[in-house]
């Protein structure tokens, strides 16, 4: 039984290339819309055609400029809802405020929850996202969602392109928070795991002692993390594994957030290759700094396939078993 009309794909201004690749995967075109910013910074959205009764997907990451991108997403969702779309899905390759997911000190907000509330209030019936900082963020939404793990893209790349040449590889997580996902990564490339432990040694955010738990001496190291933001964690991690006798170092991570001078810092490190995804576009001038040491794997086929299955009412879990 056909419940919805066709698939309609919209992109905000944050993810045009990724959205175009998703559309190509599905054999669709992106729908036209105007997004205008007035002199007072208020945004205005207008759809070029009706979405009444359609199954609509809005693709927009919410990395920098975070508030502009988030607001655009919210306004797009509301516009589609008010135009009587049958179902609206927010497709958010990178979800902002993921690290603000608990009250871990007095008098602070849980902003990830606020963002989830706003997405729902704006009109999303469903959402889709990739590797949020913690998967428990699902609990902040009361609408159904597909919270996807794109780590297999990195694992497949390592297995197909690097694994055979790696000398006694070991997967190292940059902190203990990523231990469980790091273990899955290590199992995926059939390598042992090691962890970096950070300990506060004084009442100053920067005063930390770092230790490697596990064996890196004379091994090729694959450092793994969910995102690189300022690059601080990865710089420390690379220096530490090198001090502990690592041979070549590779860095695999899902979201290239790259705030401030992160890329400049990465460019200066003795890292053989950075492997990441296009969940957030990397400006060409930044990508150039890393040259052929940067490999970007596209999440478009994953998002496209999940959209197709969601539209057709088919299992998404099955996709990961195939
Ligand atoms: C932290 O918990 C995350 O997993 C990343 O390690 C963190 O977001 C990286 O941030 P930065 O690049 O600023 O050190």
Residue with tokens 């049958």: 86
Helix H or strand E encompassing 50 = none
Instruction: Reduce the DSSP state of residue 9 to 3 states and report it.
Output: strand
Least Cα distance to 10 among 77, 67, 83 occurs for 77
Encoding tokens for residue 71?
């607001």
Asked whether 226 lines ligand 1 (CB < 6 A), one says yes
- State how far the Cα of 152 lies from the Cα of 154, in Å rounded to an integer: 5
Pick the CATH number of 151-297 from 3.40.640.10, 3.30.930.10, 3.40.50.2020, 3.60.15.10: 3.40.50.2020
Asked whether 228 lines ligand 1 (CB < 6 A), one says yes
H helix intervals, the chain: 16-26, 66-82, 111-122, 151-157, 179-188, 232-243, 262-267, 284-290, 300-312, 317-321
The pLDDT value recorded for residue 204 is: 63
- Sorted by sequence, the CB contacts under 8 Å of residue 6 that are 6+ apart come out as 54, 55
Query: What's the pTM?
Result: 0.95
Helix H or strand E encompassing 275 = strand 273-277
Residues of CATH 3.40.50.2020 domain(s) within the chain? 7-149+300-320, 151-297
Helix H or strand E encompassing 131 = none
Pick the CATH number of 7-149+300-320 from 2.60.40.420, 3.40.50.2020, 2.40.50.100, 3.40.50.10320: 3.40.50.2020
Nearest 5°: CA angle at 214, between 213 and 215? 140
Half-sphere exposure of 79 (CA within 13 A, CB side): 21
Pocket-testing residue among 225, 264, 271, ligand 1, by greatest number of atoms within 8 A of Cβ: 225
Give the Å distance between the CA of 177 and the centre of ligand 1: 10
- State how far the Cα of 294 lies from the Cα of 118, in Å rounded to an integer: 35
- State how far the Cα of 188 lies from the Cα of 151, in Å rounded to an integer: 10
Half-sphere exposure of 178 (CA within 13 A, CB side): 28
Residue 198 bears catalytic tag? yes
Pocket-testing residue among 227, 230, 251, 256, ligand 1, by greatest number of atoms within 8 A of Cβ: 227
Encoding tokens for residue 244?
């502990």
What is the distance of C-alpha 315 from the center of its chain?
22
The pLDDT value recorded for residue 309 is: 96
pLDDT 10s per residue in the chain (322 long)? 556 888 999 999 999 999 999 999 999 999 999 999 999 999 999 999 999 999 999 999 999 999 999 999 999 999 999 999 999 999 999 999 999 999 989 999 999 999 999 999 999 999 999 999 988 999 999 999 999 999 999 999 999 999 999 999 999 999 999 999 999 999 999 999 999 998 877 666 566 779 999 999 999 999 999 999 999 999 999 999 999 999 999 999 999 999 999 999 999 999 999 999 999 999 999 999 999 999 999 999 999 999 999 999 999 988 887 6
Asked whether 131 lines ligand 1 (CB < 6 A), one says no
Instruction: Reduce the DSSP state of residue 164 to 3 states and report it.
Output: helix
Asked whether 101 lines ligand 1 (CB < 6 A), one says no
Tell which atom from ligand 1 comes closest to the C-alpha of 228.
12
Asked whether 177 lines ligand 1 (CB < 6 A), one says yes
* Active-site residue, selected from the candidate residues 2, 198, 206, 242: 198
Biggest CA pair distance of the chain = 63
The pLDDT value recorded for residue 4 is: 80
- State how far the Cα of 322 lies from the Cα of 318, in Å rounded to an integer: 6
């Amino acid at each position: 039984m056909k419940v919805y009309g066709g698939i309609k794909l919209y992109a905000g201004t944050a993810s045009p290339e990724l959205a175009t690749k998703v559309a190509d995967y599905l054999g669709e075109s992106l729908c036209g819309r105007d997004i205008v910013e007035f002199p007072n910074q208020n945004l205005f959205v207008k759809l070029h055609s009706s979405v009444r009764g359609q199954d609509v997907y809005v693709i927009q990451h919410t990395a920098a400029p975070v508030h502009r991108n988030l607001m655009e997403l919210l306004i797009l969702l509301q516009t589609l809802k008010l135009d009587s779309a049958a179902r609206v899905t927010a497709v958010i390759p990178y979800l902002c405020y993921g690290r603000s997911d608990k009250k871990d000190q007095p008098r602070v907000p849980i902003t990830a929850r606020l963002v989830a509330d706003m997405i729902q209030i704006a009109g999303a019936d469903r959402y889709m996202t990739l590797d949020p900082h913690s998967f428990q963020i699902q609990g902040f939404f009361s609408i159904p969602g597909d919270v996807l793990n794109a780590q297999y893209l990195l694992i497949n790349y390592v297995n197909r392109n690097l694994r055979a040449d790696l000398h006694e590889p070991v997967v190292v997580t940059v902190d203990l928070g990523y231990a469980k996902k790091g273990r899955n990564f290590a199992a995926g490339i059939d390598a042992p795991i090691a962890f970096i432990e950070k300990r506060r040694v004084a009442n100053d955010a920067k005063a930390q002692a770092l230790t490697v738990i596990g064996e890196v001496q004379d091994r090729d190291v694959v450092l793994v993390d969910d995102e690189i933001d300022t690059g601080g964690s990865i710089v420390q991690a690379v220096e530490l594994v090198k001090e502990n006798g690592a041979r070549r170092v590779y860095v695999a991570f899902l979201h290239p957030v790259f705030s401030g001078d992160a890329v400049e810092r990465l460019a200066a490190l003795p890292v053989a290759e950075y492997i990441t995804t296009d969940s957030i576009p990397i400006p060409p001038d930044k990508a150039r700094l890393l040259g052929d040491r940067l490999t970007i794997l596209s999440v478009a086929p994953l998002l496209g396939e999940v959209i197709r299955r969601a539209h057709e009412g088919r299992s998404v879990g099955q996709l990961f078993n195939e």
